[in-house]
């Protein structure tokens, strides 16, 4: 470290919440977490006896945050911590945050297995019925016993029985089964059940597992590897029933909140790729344990799996260096569908279990977008459908049966709470709904874990266990939209400082103004910088959508689907007020939940869907926003709420938009010119200029 005379207080970043702050040397990590509103459980009052306040220090150069984190930047274990470790045991790399003190810059991971109020992962399976034509068939046969006059081997007689009873002519066997065949057939008294894998359009089928006697259970996994969360479904291959679902935070968050940060981490740390690959595979293995326990299923009964994810998650899961995706031409190492054994990547299921990954559409439009496309089916209908998966890198698909185009847009992590002063991920205690009275400018809000609004009797009791800790993505969208509808911010996103005379909620913050959403501890304030972060994110998404609309030669969309866990909790009205999506009938804007997971289930349960999406992806036109000259123009116009030039007549009919006004950067309000209502008017104005 530098000498105390020259150094500012150490910077500490907590993951997965993304909250950060500077603290004096010697501050206990637990105290720092509490000051930032990061939930670290402790029931012993800091006596180092309960062990619930465990944390991990992440080592490495985290360039995006300008942090070099090291175990040397945290105090050594003291007597209390050593006693706890000796008596109770402490997992490798874990520290007790009540005893450990900050000595330098740190990235601290709060392990999710120690957190009761862990991030809320809302990725349950939908209830759609999927016609089954799985790549795995369970085939029971009775085999002719050995005969000295017929010298055929046991394996060959098994093949004959499978051909006779099930019609398989070109059968191959996984090598690991060869030493087991004789024992299995004799244990089953010359009856056996073979799991036969046949996926691609080929005459060859392969026996991947074998059991004595009748085996009437077989399961598969459908998994969506998101950059923020991972969702998994355990599905019966025989009935199509979802036996269990579970989700968890993606542990790669500690290497970088957004995708490009993770690519940068790989570039700057020699072991970065391997570390992230190990982290995501371990998280997936833990999820397998969870769904197996919930569904009362043995790992050995899992025979097939389908995985989807954005291109960087796709590459890291497969152990591929994603560096080439960090810059033009954004080259994928593998773009087509991947078919391997699950054991090839160390996933411990049945020894013969298979793994299928859907194809990627483009360098930043991945297998998850392909799965969403398969699930929602724009290529199967006449309506012009827009599908938006809002994440750190938004994926956008637009089209109908005539033509489908796709793109990605770099929205960054703002919608997920990162880079927002009071932001956090969706967890109990996070504000998820906001309303502002336009007359008094007083807010009310709801938090995850309570059904009551903050102005209703009993609210404080209902949140006593969690407190009100921050504001998550859906709440961030609503607070900015509500601030606009209440006139607190102008269409250009500037907080109107003149309102400070009307309400104590509008407060000076240096040269700009902020809005106080919640008083008390922690105090939650929406700053001018927060509003700008949301504007930048939503403008990137809208500009990407506009490019696709131009490619489709259309000025409107018939239907909008929000995909992903986050999309499930976005209110369509506020998304449109914000200008996140184009004008559309509000009753035709809907959340479709974890559509990527649904697409993965479809591919798991029906081989035909695998062929369908492989063919569809080959025909989707990929638009690279970074190379489109009009992207910047669309982006600038989209910074306004809801947009500087595009009319929103359907929104205006449903919501009373405020009169236009401009506010200078120092918060001084003024009148604004009327909103241009048509593309023609805009073009004419540009012609006059």
Q: Where are the beta strands (DSSP E) in 372-502?
A: 385-389, 394-399, 404-409, 430-436, 443-447, 470-471
- 260 and 290 in a single domain? The answer is yes
591's enclosing H/E stretch is strand 589-591
Q: Are residues 227 and 331 in the same domain?
A: yes
Cβ atoms within 10 Å of 452's Cβ, excluding its own: 15
In a domain, 127, yes or no: no
**Cα 580 to Cα 577: distance, rounded to the nearest angstrom:** 8
Taking phi first (over 0 means left), then psi (-120 to 50 degrees means alpha), and beta for anything else, what does residue 188 get?
alpha
Asked if 499 and 601 sit in the same domain, the reply is no
Residue 363: inside a domain, yes or no?
no
Residue 372 CA to residue 620 CA, distance in Å, equals: 13
Q: How far apart are CA 617 and CA 378, in angstroms?
A: 12
Q: Tell me how crowded residue 320 is: count the other CB atoms within 10 A of its CB.
A: 18
* 343 within domain boundaries: yes
- Of 212, 244, 275, the position where a domain reaches its end is 212
Beta bridge partners of 62: 67
DSSP state letter for 73: G
Residue at a domain's end among 79, 114, 149: 114
Q: Note the helical H segments in 451-568.
A: 459-462, 473-485, 528-551, 564-567
**Residue reference for tokens 């045991």:** 89
Q: Are residues 195 and 270 in the same domain?
A: no
User: Would 28 be classed as within a structural domain?
Assistant: yes
Q: Which of 504, 527, 550 is at the close of a domain? A: 527
The reply to whether 240 falls in a domain is yes
Q: Using only C-alpha atoms, what is the Rg of the chain?
A: 28
pLDDT of residue 666: 64
pLDDT along the chain (689 residues), means of 10: 55 86 92 82 67 88 87 93 88 91 92 53 59 90 88 93 90 96 96 92 87 92 91 92 92 80 88 93 97 96 97 96 88 94 97 97 92 96 93 88 92 72 85 96 96 95 92 92 96 95 94 94 92 94 96 95 80 94 94 90 95 96 87 95 95 90 67 45 36
Query: Are 454 and 588 in a shared domain?
Result: no
Q: Identify which of 659, 675, 664, 673 has the alpha carbon closest to the alpha carbon of residue 484.
A: 659
User: What pLDDT does 418 receive?
Assistant: 66
Q: What are phi and psi of 153, to 5 degrees?
A: -75, 165
Structure tokens at 570: 């976005």
State the SS3 of 620-669: CEECCHHHCCCHHHHHHHHCCCCCCCCCCHHHHHHCCCCCCEEECCCCCE
- Domain interval for residue 338: 222-357
238 lies in the same domain as 336: yes
**DSSP readout, 102-163?**
B-S-EEEE--GGG-TT---------------B-SEEEEEEE-PPPBTTB---HHHHHHHHHH
> Residue 221 corresponds to which tokens in the numbers above?
């996994």
| CATH number of the domain encompassing residue 51 | 3.10.20.30
HSE, CB side, 13 Å, CA atoms: give it for residue 635.
15
How far from the centroid of its chain's Cα atoms is residue 243's Cα? 22
Task: Show the 3-state SS of 191-212.
Answer: EEEEEEECCCCCCEEEEEEEEE
Whether residue 70 is contained in a domain is answered as: yes
For the whole model, what pTM was predicted?
A: 0.80
Same domain, 408 and 425: no
Per the structure, how many domains does the chain have?
A: 5
Asked whether residue 370 is assigned to any structural domain, the reply reads no
Give the CATH number for residue 301: 3.30.420.480
Q: Please indicate, yes or no, whether residues 402 and 549 belong to a single structural domain of this protein.
A: yes
- Let me know if residue 1 belongs to a domain: no
Q: Report pLDDT for 683.
A: 37
Query: Is there a single domain that holds both residue 248 and residue 296?
Result: yes
Neighbours of 244 (CB within 10 A): 19
Does one domain contain both 464 and 474? yes
580 shares a domain with 521: no
553 and 577 fall within a common domain: yes
CATH code for position 153? 3.10.20.880
Do the Cβ atoms of 102 and 69 come closer than 8 Å? Answer: no
CATH of the domain at 593: 3.30.420
Q: Among candidates 483, 437, 473, 492, which has minimal Cα distance to 669?
A: 492
Asked if residue 60 lies in contact with residue 264, where contact means CB atoms within 8 angstroms, the answer is no
Residue 333 per-residue DSSP state: S
Per-residue confidence (pLDDT) for residue 7, from 0 to 100: 63
């Amino acid at each position: 470290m530098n000498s105390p005379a020259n150094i500012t207080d150490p910077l500490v970043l907590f993951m997965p919440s993304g909250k950060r702050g500077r603290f004096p040397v010697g501050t206990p990590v637990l105290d720092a977490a509490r000051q930032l509103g990061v939930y670290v459980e402790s029931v012993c009052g800091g006596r180092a006896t309960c062990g619930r306040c465990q944390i991990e220090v992440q080592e490495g150069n985290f360039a995006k945050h300008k942090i070099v984190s090291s175990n040397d930047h945290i105090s050594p274990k003291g007597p209390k911590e050593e006693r706890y470790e000796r008596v109770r045991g402490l997992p490798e790399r874990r520290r007790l945050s009540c005893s450990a003190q900050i000595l330098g810059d740190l990235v601290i991971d709060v392990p999710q297995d120690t957190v009761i109020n862990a991030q809320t992962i809302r990725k349950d399976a939908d209830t759609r019925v999927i016609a089954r034509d799985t790549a795995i068939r369970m085939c029971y046969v009775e085999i002719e016993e050995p005969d000295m006059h017929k010298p055929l081997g046991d394996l060959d007689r098994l093949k004959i029985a499978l051909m006779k009873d099930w019609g398989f002519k070109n059968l191959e066997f996984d090598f690991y089964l060869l030493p087991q065949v004789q024992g299995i057939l004799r244990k089953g008294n010359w009856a056996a059940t073979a799991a036969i894998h046949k996926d691609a359009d080929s005459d060859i089928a392969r026996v991947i597992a074998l059991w004595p006697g009748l085996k009437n259970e077989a399961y598969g996994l459908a998994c969506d590897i998101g950059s923020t969360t991972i969702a998994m479904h355990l599905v019966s291959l025989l009935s199509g029933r979802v036996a269990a679902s579970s989700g968890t935070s993606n542990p790669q968050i500690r290497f970088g909140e957004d995708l490009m940060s993770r690519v940068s981490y790989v570039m700057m740390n020699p072991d970065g790729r391997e570390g992230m690959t190990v982290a995501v595979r371990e998280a997936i293995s833990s999820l397998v344990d969870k769904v197996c326990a919930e569904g009362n299923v043995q790992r050995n009964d899992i025979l097939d799996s389908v995985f989807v994810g954005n291109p960087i998650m796709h590459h890291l899961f497969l152990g591929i260096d994603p560096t080439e995706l960090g810059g033009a031409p954004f080259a994928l190492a593998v773009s087509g569908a991947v078919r391997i054994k699950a054991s090839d990547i160390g996933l411990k299921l049945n020894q013969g279990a298979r793994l299928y990954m859907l194809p990627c559409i483009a360098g930043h439009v991945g297998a998850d977008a392909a799965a969403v496309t398969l699930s929602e089916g724009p290529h199967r209908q006449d309506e012009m459908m827009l599908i938006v998966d809002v994440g750190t890198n938004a994926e956008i698909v637009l089209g109908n049966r005539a033509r489908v185009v796709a793109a990605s847009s770099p929205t960054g992590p703002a919608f997920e709470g990162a880079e927002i002063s009071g932001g956090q991920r969706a967890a109990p205690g996070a504000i998820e709904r906001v309303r502002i009275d336009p007359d008094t400018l007083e807010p009310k809000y709801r938090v995850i874990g309570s059904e009551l609004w903050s102005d209703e009797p009993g609210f404080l009791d209902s949140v006593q266990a969690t407190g009100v800790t921050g504001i998550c993505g859906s709440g961030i969208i609503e607070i900015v939209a509500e601030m606009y509808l209440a006139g607190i911010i102008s269409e250009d996103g500037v907080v109107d400082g003149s309102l400070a005379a009307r309400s104590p909620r509008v407060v000076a913050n240096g040269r700009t103004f902020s809005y106080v959403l919640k008083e008390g501890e922690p105090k939650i304030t929406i700053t001018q910088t927060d509003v700008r972060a949301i504007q930048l994110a939503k403008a990137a998404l809208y500009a990407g959508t506009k490019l696709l609309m131009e490619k489709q030669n259309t000025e409107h969309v018939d239907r909008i689907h929000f995909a992903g866990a986050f999309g499930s909790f976005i209110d369509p009205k506020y998304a449109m007020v914000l200008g996140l999506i184009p004008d559309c009938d509000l009753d035709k804007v809907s959340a479709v939940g974890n559509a990527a997971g649904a697409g993965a289930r479809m591919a798991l349960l029906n081989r035909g869907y695998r062929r369908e999406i492989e063919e569809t992806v080959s025909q989707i036109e990929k638009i690279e926003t970074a190379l489109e000259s009009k992207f910047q123009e669309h982006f600038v116009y989209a910074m306004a709420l809801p947009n500087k030039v595009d009319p929103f007549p359907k929104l205006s009919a449903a919501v009373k938009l405020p009169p236009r006004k401009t506010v200078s950067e120092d918060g001084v309000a003024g009148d604004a010119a009327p909103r241009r209502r048509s593309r023609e008017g805009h073009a004419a104005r540009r012609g006059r200029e």
